[in-house]
């Protein structure tokens, strides 16, 4: 039997396009995990994902209660989408999620971003998204490395043993 040797992953480029707790934290956990494993990590926040790196919104992200098939009520039953439309439900579910995360010692978004950049990870914002939402660099978390086009981000992601991940 022929023996194959796989080359180790050297770089991950992660794209975050939504600002729900589940999307932002998936991005942050994967980026932090890469940094902790010595893998180069670059994270690109685009469209609604920009909320995760916008000072005004970064620590106020919420759980999607409408159209989220993975959301479960206490006891494990599927969460009825119709309930997510009621006033206060999204805030309540989001508070519950944040409480559960705090019990697991999962940091808030700004602290998580600090951990990633302290470990050598890089955070980028999408130029088109910034223009669409009329955001300026000053609106963003201070350690956002740059505002790039998607083409510029892809150019940074080139090279052997690189994985691009879209959350």
pLDDT tens per residue, range 3-47: 656 778 899 999 999 999 999 999 999 999 999 999 999 999 999
Q: Give the whole-angstrom CA distance, residue 86 versus residue 147.
A: 37
Cβ distance 63 to 97 under 8 Å?
yes
Residue 2, pLDDT score: 60
Q: Give the whole-angstrom CA distance, residue 157 versus residue 114.
A: 21
Q: Is the dihedral of CA 91, 68, 115, 105 positive or negative?
A: positive
Whether residue 1 lies inside any domain: the answer is: no
47-75 CB burial, b ≥16 within 10 A, e <16: bbbbbbbbeebbeebbbbbeebeebeeee
Whether residue 103 lies inside any domain: the answer is: yes
Whether residue 51 lies inside any domain: the answer is: yes
Q: Give the whole-angstrom CA distance, residue 117 versus residue 54.
A: 16
Number of domains into which the chain is organized: 1
164: CB partners within 8 A, 6+ apart: 12, 13, 14, 15, 154, 157
Whether residue 93 lies inside any domain: the answer is: yes
pLDDT tens per residue, range 66-91: 877 777 777 777 777 777 778 888 88
DSSP string for 40-90: EEEEEE-GGGGGGGBTTTTT--B---SS-TT-B-TTSPBPPGGGGGSTTHH
Whether residue 5 lies inside any domain: the answer is: no
Residue 109 has pLDDT above 80, yes or no: yes
Whether residue 88 lies inside any domain: the answer is: yes
Residue 76, pLDDT score: 74
156 lies in which domain range?
11-166
Which two three-digit tokens encode residue 85? Answer: 């439309």
pLDDT tens per residue, range 119-141: 999 999 999 999 999 999 999 99
Cβ distance 16 to 27 under 8 Å?
yes
Cβ distance 14 to 42 under 8 Å?
yes
Whether residue 130 lies inside any domain: the answer is: yes
Residue 119, pLDDT score: 96
Q: What is the CATH number of the domain that holds 51?
A: 3.40.1260.10
Beta bridge partners of 12: 41, 163
């Amino acid at each position: 039997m022929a023996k194959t040797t796989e080359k180790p992953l050297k770089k991950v480029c992660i794209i975050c396009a939504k600002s729900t707790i589940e999307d932002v934290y998936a991005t942050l956990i994967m980026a932090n995990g890469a940094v902790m494993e010595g893998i180069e990590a670059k994270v690109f926040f685009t469209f609604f994902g920009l909320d995760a790196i916008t000072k005004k919104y970064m620590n106020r992200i919420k759980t999607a209660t409408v159209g989220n098939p993975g959301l479960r009520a206490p006891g494990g039953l599927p969460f009825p989408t119709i309930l997510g439309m009621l006033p206060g439900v999204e805030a309540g579910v989001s508070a519950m999620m944040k409480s559960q995360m705090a019990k697991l010692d999962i940091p808030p978004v700004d602290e998580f971003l600090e951990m990633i950049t302290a470990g050598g990870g890089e955070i980028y914002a999408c130029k088109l998204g910034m223009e669409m939402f009329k955001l300026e660099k000053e609106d963003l978390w201070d350690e956002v490395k740059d505002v790039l086009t998607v083409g510029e981000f892809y150019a940074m992601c080139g090279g052997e043993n690189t994985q691009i991940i879209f959350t």
